[in-house]
Amino acid sequence: MITSLTISHRFAAAHRLPHLARSQCANLHGHNWDVKVTIAGRVGESALLVDFDQVKNPLREWVDTNLDHRTLLGADDELRPVLAAYRQPLFIFGPGGDWERLRWPTVEAVTLLIAEQVARLLAPTLDPVGAYVQQVTVEETPGSSATWQAGLPGAGATRDG
Ligand SMILES: [Zn+2]
């Protein structure tokens, strides 16, 4: 029987999207980001898909270490040197940053970032039992979220809200 289970974790972080000049998202602001990771696979004789702790702990540890209570900025953001001078913890998106694939910390980018990290971190646990990360959803405010799904063309993220 194929089934899925979902783990969730929340973190607080500031971001801004200065390339959206006419949007209030260009202003520095914060969210309590709500992350949901769905794992799919076959339930074994133990009646488990996978032990919750084995998948929750790596997710929490990575998110808390890298994103929680940080400011998420694009590499070219003019606030970057200012906040760095005051030793504010940053996570930089884009060329030369902490994650180079996408240039701005949109909810889509945060979703894709977390999807990549959990797929990598959970592979040693999931691969041996034939399970996999099926979906990652990140909600920045109630009603505004992005979802990454395994097998989606280009493994991109879609926006909802
Ligand atoms: Zn925002």
Fold of 2-160: Tetrahydropterin Synthase; Chain A (3.30.479)
Strand partners, 35: 9, 138
pLDDT score at 46 = 80
DSSP string, 60-94: HHHHHHHTTTEEEEETT-THHHHHHHTT--EEEES
Task: Compute, in angstroms, the gap from residue 146 CA to the centroid of ligand 1.
Answer: 12
Distance 144 CA to ligand 1 centre (A): 9
Domain boundaries of the chain, sorted by first residue: 2-160
For residue 40, count other CB atoms closer than 10 A to its CB.
17
Ligand 1 centroid to Cα of residue 40, in Å, is 30
Residue 30 C-alpha to ligand 1 middle, in angstroms? 6
Q: Say if pTM beats, i.e. exceeds, 0.85.
A: yes
The whole-chain average pLDDT of the chain stands at 93
15 CA distance to ligand 1 middle (Å): 6
Return the percentage of the chain with pLDDT > 70, whole number.
94
Interval 90-111 mean pLDDT: 97
